[in-house]
Amino acid sequence: MSLYLARVGTSALPLVLVASAVVVVVVSSLTYVLINWVAPRRCIVATWALLASASAFLSLQLAESHHSAIILGLIYVLAEVRGCVNTVFLTTVTTDWFRNSDSKRPYTLVAAGAPIAGIVAGLFLTWGAISVGNVRILQIISLLDVAVAVLAWSLPKHSLMSSAATSNSDDDGSELAFAHVTAKASNDAATPELTHIAHHDSESVTDVHPVTRVAPSKLLLQFRSYIVVLMVLKTAVLTLIGYQWKVAISDYWHEDEADLIAYFAAYYATVDTLILSSQIFFAGRLLDRFGVGMALRGYPLLLASMALAAIVFDSALGLMVVFTLARAFDVFRRSLHDPALASAFTILSKRFRRQSIVMIKGIAKPIAEVVTALALFVYASQITSDEITVIWWVLLIPWILAATAASKIHHLSNGH
């Protein structure tokens, strides 16, 4: 990001956001098809082998054209694709492996790998980026992609947390359990609509063969719809905030490459240290204690607190500080919100869960990025930063409502 902002500037930022989002949608659509036929482990190996090849190719191109907007844009797009597929496959693998866990701690501990990498990368960029050079950094990234592919290939083929019988019944177990719990909760609460749905679902699945795939219940379909709405609104809000953050940082540091690299390195090293500390020491305990709802609603509420500050402090220094703090709420997002969202998928059956993860995080999310980036591309030069802030503040309202509705269904399914 610092390389692109320093050598190209912010004027072409909306365009590269659109391009990266479009490519991510295409890649995710292919992933959606493959995940139904190929094991996630093999998909990861193939994907990261391609990422390694692309990184190596771009390193050679960057050596010949240091300031090519096309090459720098492709590097940015590749980073966005890597981030998207990483999120999709990490969520898929963790929910497959830990869906039977009573605790949310495995999700926070697995997610701790990202801040560790961020800390190491931040320290490296602070002390060694200038001497190593951008071309060599891309080559190192290519080697890391190869390492990911090798590690993915070495993963066991089946979860160690469930027996073969559990694995075979995974496709229908979630819906059976959900129907039972829903029926009980509905009868206790005397809610006619929920009682009718649960009764219909439980009757429709009791006579089927144990290995027959059960269609998701209406409430589970509603749950997925709420998560789609949450993800789309979250993506739009974060894209707008991310754009404002990058513009504010670029304006404050006057697009100086050395200062931008130092800032981003210090930011990511600090934030990732805080994320890692919270994930190791208390994030899992908080999720076990307060449940998924707290995390899903808490993050947009934190962002809402920064909207007024962004309007009041409108100087270059003020906007830099405000949007740095807004992005620093990534500590909450990555420690609590994202692991909670990942664990929420476990109420779905395996096939429906995998399809939902790819559809929501791999397709709906980048499509939201495309729409938001297109809006920025068309209107960014015509509206002020305050107007952008008002837009994403308004989007926080339906985001919070969707998070609340999804949390209620999740609580109904497993009690926390």
pLDDT tens readout for residues 292-320: 999 999 999 999 989 889 988 888 888 99
Cα–Cα nearest to 392, from 367, 364, 416, 368: 368
- Tokens 């190209």: give the residue: 8
Which of 34-43, 61-70, 336-345 ranks highest by mean pLDDT?
Answer: 336-345
Q: Quote the CA–CA distance of 392 and 383 in Å, as a whole number.
A: 13
Q: Binning pLDDT at 50, 70 and 90, where does residue 9 land?
A: low
Residue 166 has pLDDT above 50, yes or no: no
pLDDT value of position 198: 39
Q: Binning pLDDT at 50, 70 and 90, where does residue 349 land?
A: confident
pLDDT value of position 149: 92
Q: Quote the CA–CA distance of 50 and 226 in Å, as a whole number.
A: 33
Q: Quote the CA–CA distance of 252 and 142 in Å, as a whole number.
A: 32
Residue 365 has pLDDT above 80, yes or no: yes
Other residues' Cβ atoms within 10 Å of the Cβ of residue 192: 9
Q: Binning pLDDT at 50, 70 and 90, where does residue 202 land?
A: very low
pLDDT value of position 416: 55
pLDDT value of position 162: 47
Average pLDDT over residues 84-103: 85
To the nearest whole number, what is the mean pLDDT of the chain? Answer: 79
pLDDT value of position 245: 92
pLDDT value of position 49: 94
Residue 169 has pLDDT above 60, yes or no: no
Lowest mean pLDDT across 18-22, 68-72, 187-191, 228-232: 187-191
| Contact by Cβ (8 Å): 138, 34 | no
Lowest mean pLDDT across 10-24, 72-86, 152-166, 245-259: 152-166
pLDDT value of position 322: 93
Q: Name which residue leads in pLDDT, 251 or 194.
A: 251
Q: Quote the CA–CA distance of 170 and 277 in Å, as a whole number.
A: 34
Q: Can you list the domains of the chain with their CATH numbers?
A: 2-158+219-414 (1.20.1250.20), 172-206 (no CATH)
Residue 185 has pLDDT above 50, yes or no: no
In three-state secondary structure terms, 259 is helix
pLDDT value of position 233: 97
Lowest mean pLDDT across 177-191, 214-228, 325-339: 177-191
Longest dimension (CA), the chain: 71
Tokens of 104: 């949310």
Q: Name which residue leads in pLDDT, 9 or 119.
A: 119
Average pLDDT over residues 136-157: 88
pLDDT value of position 25: 80
Tokens of 270: 């600090």
User: First-to-last CA distance in the chain?
Assistant: 39
